[in-house]
Amino acid sequence: MTRNAAISLTRIAVIVGGIALLEVLCRRHIINPLTLIPPSEMATSLWHLFGSQKIWDDIAQTFSTVAFSFVLSVAAGFALGALIHALPRVRRAVDPLLASYYSIPFFVFYPLLIALFGLNTVPLIVIGFIFATAAMVISTLNGLDRVPRVMTKTSRILRLSPTRAIWSVTLPAAAPYLFTGLKLALAYSFIGVIAGEFILSGGGLGYSIAYAYNDFDNQTMYALMMFVLVIAVAMNGALHVWEQRMLKKRARA
Amino acid sequence: MNVVARLTDVSRVYPPRAGHAAVHALGPLSLELRDGEFFSVVGPSGCGKSTLLDVLAGLSAPSEGTIEFEGKPVAGVVPDGVGVVFQEDASFPWLTVEDNVAFGLRRLGMDGAEIKRRVDFAVGFMGLNDFRRAYPSQLSGGMRQRVCIARTLVLQPRLILLDEPFGALDQQTRLLMGDELLRLWRETGATILLITHALDEAAMLSDRVGVMSARPGRFIDIITTGWARERDSAIVADPAFGAVTARLWSLLRSESLKAIGAKGA
Amino acid sequence: MTQAWSGLNSRALDALVLVTLTVAIWQGLYEYAGEAAITSPLATLGYASSLVKTSSFWTHAEATLAAFAYALAISIVLGVVFGLILGFRRFAGDVAEPILVALYTIPKVTLYPLILLIFGLGVSAKVAFGVIHGVIPIILFTLNAVKNINPVLIRTSRVMRLSPWQTVSTVLTPAVMPELITGMRVGFSLTMLGVLIGEMFASQRGLGFLIINGINMHNVPMTMAVILIVVLFAIAANGLLLAFDKRMHRT
């Protein structure tokens, strides 16, 4: 078997084995059932939840909030990134800010946003937006940087109009890196929204997890936690695989 | 005529791994390196030149055959007295030029004054005096190779192996570095084995040139140039130089075609 | 010399412009939203400077710093050790890396209830939050630092006949240092974030608690003052680490 196949199989074995181990430890009460329920129970509990309306309302709320945050941050991030790229002086000023951006614990602004906008989804969208936009800006700058000079020269030799040049040369060349930005923007929007809902909110999946925790309702809590985990992994995983394919096709020495 | 290193029926086969068949990279080949000679190895790409160097230096053990250095067997361990200059830049980016050169001596616990003497000599010899305090990242590729050569030089090796050390440099710099290598050779009296894909380089620098076949590499022929010890790149004017180069190419041409063909369509 | 100075000056100018812009936007928001929602920049600064003179503030600050210090130490030790193991054992590293990257991108807040159930409310839970945020990037950076060790360095060590210990201490360690430092810098910020978030809903002490408490008590000035202090600390600390990081990467 090839090395790659061996790696993938081992990885699957590790994950499945880990879950199986957890299952056994929980069933035998080696792990306190008040602390953690077996994965199989999480699954069945989740299945039952799907029958009720509540979880679908939560899903709708969380996903729509994430969607808002995602679309806004991608649009703003791309626009800002392109603008900054075109103005080197501004870029020099902003670069240190971007480099240190993620060292600022933006989460501490969340209570403030609630004071400003009230206890609704707006603070969540704003927090997701703040998290995600910078990643999109950085990825856009990176992507535009990496359009090889020789390609820009080629479009000038071919005497393409500026619009044609951007559409047919610049954007396709930058595409893989822009896609990375999309991937990060989605991940960060999701993290920001769920975390916000968890800490202080009136609805959504994060809120329901916190509610179930306060209610000592481990069944519901773990079911929802597992759901969020699986969705996050699936979403990010799919985008990651897609992104890697894109980068591989474009790999330059 | 002293033999400083000897390879006898040496073969190197890489064992089969997941998804790949076994690779017969080298041999069987035999070679006797004479004390103090300048020997070049040329051959088509993939013929096993680098494997030859690895095995001779003790960096990897042969699958068959024996290797001797100064009369003692070599197998998988680098013996004392062998220096290697690699194709890629092997300078330590976190040390200055001076510290890079002194590196090998410091760990031997040598006396400070002796270290200084040797480092001063090597740095001066390789023309690095103005760059002693610089870091490799501040230097060009050619200068970095000189740092690597100086670092090898201070250890006073009796056998110096060089694996396409000038591969990344432009032609003019290569010619200059070739002259430097000859200077180094005469000054130290060491035996030199140079691996190169540049036929003119091999022809102008060496006492003997070994021509390797396509993989698995064996010596098709070993050509003696007969140059005087005091030589430099001006030798290109000598008509014999053209003859040597032509002879090398005629031997290599068919092997090179084989190597390209062997790589598949 | 003048070129270096003008570089410094233009950077200082840029920083000044950015700060002024931020304060202007802040003031604008204040005018728009009013006293009940946020406090003006000046008032916040005033409140903050009087706040740092109180001993109660420092009780909370020390709680945060203590938890942060523990969490960072654990993150670094675990992160570097596992990163080294996974970096040198190539197969294990290749198996584990996507799993770690996946863990990095999930909302870690989802694991908080589990942490609380294991550790209960209190310092250990805060430290645990900090660690789960900070350890993964350190592992990943360390792992990649080892993977990216230039093979020619190892061959050089063998040619110089270095002992295994000499190879590790004089060649491999300096070779991986720059990447390790970057990993620790990222881990620093994330660990701090984890500790603060933990304090925001699972503690009665600490700066994170003060922030959320301010909102609950309708004491907006205090919330804003603490946020300002925390953000300034984060920027300053990161600035120092970034300078150190750049020095390590000068090569």
- Which residue on chain C is closest to B139 by alpha carbon? C251
3-state DSSP: chain C helix, strand, coil percent, rounded to 5? 85, 0, 15
What are the tokens at A59?
Answer: 């899903």
β-pairing verdict for B3-14 and B23-34: antiparallel
CA angle centred on C213, ends C212 and C218, rounded to 5°: 100
Do A19 and A122 lie in one domain? The reply is: no
Q: Is the pLDDT of residue A5 over 80?
A: yes
- B1 neighbors B34 (Cβ within 8 angstroms): yes
Give residues 3 to 62 of A whose Cβ lies within 8 Å of B.
3, 6
Q: Which residues of A touch B19 (CB under 8 A)?
A: 1-3
Are C116 and A221 an interchain contact pair (Cβ–Cβ within 8 Å)?
Answer: no
C174 to chain B: closest CA residue: B94
E strands, A96-215, where? none
Domain shared by A153 and A192, yes or no: yes
Token code pair at residue C104: 């990095």
Query: B27 near B12, Cβ under 8 Å?
Result: yes
Is there a single domain that holds both residue A26 and residue A115? Answer: no
C206, C197 contact by CB (below 8 A): no
Of the candidates C157, C113, C108, the one whose C-alpha atom is nearest the C-alpha of residue C132 is C108
Is B94 within 8 Å of C177 when comparing Cβ atoms?
yes
Sign of the dihedral defined by the CA atoms of residues B81, C155, B90, C153, in that order: negative
- The arithmetic mean of pLDDT across residues A175-203, rounded, is 89
DSSP class of residue B221 equals E
Domain positions in chain C: 1-38, 53-248
pTM of the model: 0.85
Q: How far is CA A31 from CA B212, C205, C209, C223, in A?
A: 67, 30, 31, 39
Please, what sign has the CA dihedral across residues A123, A126, A128, A130? negative
User: How far is residue A43's CA from residue A51's CA, in Å, rounded to a whole number?
Assistant: 13
Residue A3 is part of which domain span?
1-36
Residue of A nearest to C216 (CA): A111
A1 Cβ neighbours under 8 A, 6+ residues apart: A9, B18, B19
Residue B193 backbone dihedrals phi, psi, to 5 degrees: -120, 115
Distance CA A142, CA B150 (A): 39
pLDDT range class, residue A11, cuts 50, 70, 90: very high
Pairs of residues, one from chain A and one from chain C, whose beta carbons lie less than 8 Å apart: 147
Domains of chain B and any CATH numbers: 1-81+191-265 (3.40.50.300)
Helix, strand, coil percentages for chain A (3-state, nearest 5): 85, 0, 15
B-chain CB neighbours of A1 within 8 Å are 18-19
Contact C161 B155 (CB under 8 A): no
**Residues in chain A, overall count:** 253
CA distance A79 to B256: 54
DSSP string of C55-103, one letter each residue: HHHHHHHHHHHHHHHHHHHHHHHHHHHHHHHHHHSHHHHHHHHHHHHHH
Cβ of C113 within 8 Å of Cβ of A209? The answer is yes
Contact at CB, C220 and A115, closer than 8 angstroms: yes
- Our CA-based measurement puts residue B20 at a distance from the nearest CA of chain A, in whole angstroms, of 8
A176 with A63, same domain? yes
- What's the average model confidence in pLDDT over B237-257? 88
Q: Provide the 10 A C-beta neighbour count for residue A27.
A: 14
- What pLDDT is attached to residue B261? 75
**β-sheet bridge partners, residue B222:** B210
Topology of the domain covering C53-248? MetI-like fold (1.10.3720)
Q: Does A240 touch chain C (CB under 8 A)?
A: yes
For chain C, say whether A225 makes contact (Cβ under 8 Å). Answer: yes
Q: What does the alpha-carbon distance between residue A19 and residue A25 come to, in Å, rounded to a whole number?
A: 10
pLDDT at B265 exceeding the cut of 50: no
Distance between CA atoms of residues C77 and B64, nearest Å: 46
Whether residue A140 sits in one domain with residue A54: yes
Greatest pairwise CA separation for chain A in angstroms: 73
Contact list in B for residue A3 (CB cut-off 8 A) is: 17-19
Coil, strand or helix at B112: helix
Per residue in B199-232, pLDDT (tens digit) is 999 999 999 999 999 888 899 999 999 888 888 8
Who's near C183: CB < 8 A, 6+ residues apart?
A: C79, C83, C137, C138, C140, C141, C142, C145
Picking from B169, B160, B87, B93, the residue whose alpha carbon sits closest to that of residue B122 is B160
pLDDT band at A202 (very low <50, low <70, confident <90, very high): confident
Q: What is the predicted ipTM?
A: 0.84
Q: In terms of domains, do A152 and A171 share one?
A: yes
How many whole angstroms separate alpha carbon B191 and alpha carbon B160?
Answer: 6
User: Is the C-alpha dihedral spanning B69, B72, B78, B82 positive or negative?
Assistant: negative
- Report the C-alpha gap between B258 and B212 in whole angstroms: 12
pLDDT band at B17 (very low <50, low <70, confident <90, very high): confident
* pLDDT of the residue at A253: 40
**Region A89-103 average pLDDT:** 86
- Searching chain A, which residue's CA lies closest to the CA of residue C118? A35
Enter the tokens of residue A100.
């240190």
Is the separation of the CB atoms in B78 and C159 below 8 Å? yes
Interchain proximity C159–B92, CB inside 8 Å: no
Q: Say if residue A240 is in the same domain as residue A187.
A: yes
Alpha-carbon torsion angle C125, C129, C131, C135, nearest 10: 160
How many residue pairs from chains A and B have C-beta atoms closer than 8 A? 8
Asked if the Cβ–Cβ distance from C211 to A97 is below 8 Å, we say no
> Of C170, C155, C171, whose CA–CA distance to B58 is shortest?
C155
Question: Residue C49 to residues A49, C32, C165: CA-CA distances in angstroms?
Answer: 51, 25, 52
- CA C115-C119-C125 angle, to 5 degrees, is 70
Q: DSSP string spanning C94-134?
A: HHHHHHHHHHHHS-GGGGHHHHHHHH-SSHHHHHHHHHHHH
In the beta sheet, which residues pair with residue C54? none
Of A103, A116, A213, the CB nearest to C238: A103
Which run of H or E residues covers position A124?
A: helix A121-145
Instruction: Answer whether B62's CB lies under 8 Å from B12's CB.
Output: yes
pLDDT, residue B232, reads 85
Same domain flag for A216 and A122: yes
Sheet holding B191-195, edge to edge: B82-85, B159-163, B191-195, B38-42, B208-212, B219-224
| A30 and A149 assigned to the same domain | no
Say which CATH number the domain at A55 has.
1.10.3720.10
Chain centre to alpha carbon of residue A225: 16
Q: Which residue bears the tokens 């769920």? A: A194
**Could you tell me the pLDDT band of residue B182, with boundaries at 50, 70 and 90?**
very high
**Average pLDDT over every residue of A207-218:** 91
One domain, residues A207 and A162: yes
Chain C 93-112, CB below 8 Å of chain A: which residues?
A: 94-96, 98-99, 101-102, 105-112
pLDDT of residue C189: 92
Chain B residues inside the 8 Å CB shell of C250: 135, 137
CA distances from A95 to A90, A185, A209, B208, C231 (A): 9, 19, 38, 57, 18
The H-or-E segment that residue B261 falls in is helix B239-262
pLDDT for position A77: 96
Confidence at B168, pLDDT banded by 50, 70, 90:
confident
Per-residue pLDDT band at B264 (split at 50, 70, 90): very low
Give CA–CA dist B172/A78, Å, rounded.
47
Contact B252, B259 (CB under 8 A): no
Q: Is the sign of the CA dihedral A119, A120, A126, A128 positive or negative? A: positive
Residues A126 and A10 in one domain: no
Tokens of A43: 């699954």
Distance in angstroms (rounded) separating the CA atoms of residues A243 and C150: 27
Q: Which residue of A has its CA nearest to C201?
A: A199
Whole-angstrom distance between the N-terminal and C-terminal Cα of chain C?
22
Q: What pLDDT score does B149 carry?
A: 93
Separation between Cα atoms, residue A16 and residue A22, nearest integer Å:
10
**The total number of structural domains that make up chain A:** 2
Q: Is there a contact between C117 and A36 if contact means CB atoms under 8 Å apart?
A: yes
Pick from C94, C201, C224: which is nearest to A112 by CB? C224
Q: Find, among C250, A220, C211, the residue nearest to B135 by Cα.
A: C250
Residue C68 CA to residue C208 CA, distance in Å, equals 12
Contacts of A69 (CB under 8 A, 6+ apart): A124, A125, A127, A128, A129, A132, A189, A192, A193
Share of chain B above pLDDT 70, in %: 97
Residues of chain C with confidence (pLDDT) below 70: 1-5, 250-251
For residue B206, which phi and psi values (nearest 5 degrees)? -95, 160
Q: What is the mean pLDDT of chain A?
A: 89
Q: What is the pLDDT of residues A121-159, one digit of tens each?
A: 899 999 999 999 999 999 999 999 988 888 888 888 888
Domain shared by A53 and A116, yes or no: yes
Rounded CA separation C216/C243 (Å): 38
Q: How far apart are the first and last CA of chain B?
A: 47
